Chains A and B, each alone.
Chain A
Amino acid sequence: MAVFDTLGISGSGLLVHRKWLDAVSDNISNINTATRTNEDAFKERFIVARAVDYGSGEGGVRAARAEFGSGQGRLVYDPTHPLADKDGMVKYPDIDLGGQMTQLLMAQRGYQANLAVVERATTAYQAALQLGRR
């Protein structure tokens, strides 16, 4: 219902932050995924958010696309690894866990902030409906 636009707008924010959380969890879950040296390492995932213009559209945000980091990775000496090459090297994704944890915090806080907006908007709408009630 168009009256309760705020809920939909916050919903789009929630969706984007949920996708961001997905991307971060994907990155962290693959942080120790070893590959052969002649293959690409796991590529870090990024979510690109785009604003939906409030003037022409309904407002809010959308996850425009996913971007991928470099597959270059870093070489690690591990000769016992089954994927190691003849020099005993394997490739690990070059993802910084500290950076991922920071992004995790931001995504979580953003999600919570959008939920807070939903809650406040609901309270505000309810207060408006109480207007003049005896």
Chain B
Amino acid sequence: MTSPFGGIVPVGIGGIAGVASTAATTGTTGTQATQGDGGFAAVLAASFDRLQGTQSAADSLATQAATGDLKDVHDYMIASNEASLATEMVVTIKNKAVEAFNEIMRMPV
């Protein structure tokens, strides 16, 4: 008879890494971070870095809009749109990961 707990074995650190690789295949970060050390934390940190980049691009365009140096209105609108989407995405991924972690922590031992 196969162990009823067989399915649970990869959960834990492996499960978190699994979440990380899912995040990587959706394109949030580079794939190399998931294979090596760091796991999900590294993935999350890398996507935060990217998010920072998107937001600073939007910020500099906002400054240009305020100072009158902005050449194209749509550039700023798209950049701010992208920044808010990226924020939403990173937060969603974070929420999902925390949710999974909590689910595991609630597991009766």
Contacts and interface: CB of A to CB of B under 8 A. Distances in A.
Given A115-B74, A125-B85, A3 B92 contact: no
B72 A122 contact: no
B27 A2 contact: yes
A3 B81 contact: no
Contacts, number: 46
Interface in B21-77: 26-28, 50, 54, 72, 74-75, 77
Contacts of B81: 7, 118, 122
Interface string B68-103: 000010110110011001101100100010000000
Q: Name the interface size band of chain B.
A: 10 to 19
Main secondary structure of the interface of B (DSSP, over half): helix
B88 A129 contact: yes
Contacts of A122: 81, 85
Contacts of B77: 118
B82 A4 contact: yes
Nearest to A15: B72
Contact of B86 (A1, A118, A132): A1
A4 B84 CA distance: 11
Given A10-B78, A132-B96, 14 more contacts: A1-B54, A3-B28, A3-B86, A4-B86, A7-B81, A7-B82, A7-B85, A15-B72, A18-B72, A118-B78, A122-B81, A122-B85, A129-B85, A133-B92
Interface of B: 26-28, 50, 54, 72, 74-75, 77-78, 81-82, 85-86, 88-89, 92, 96
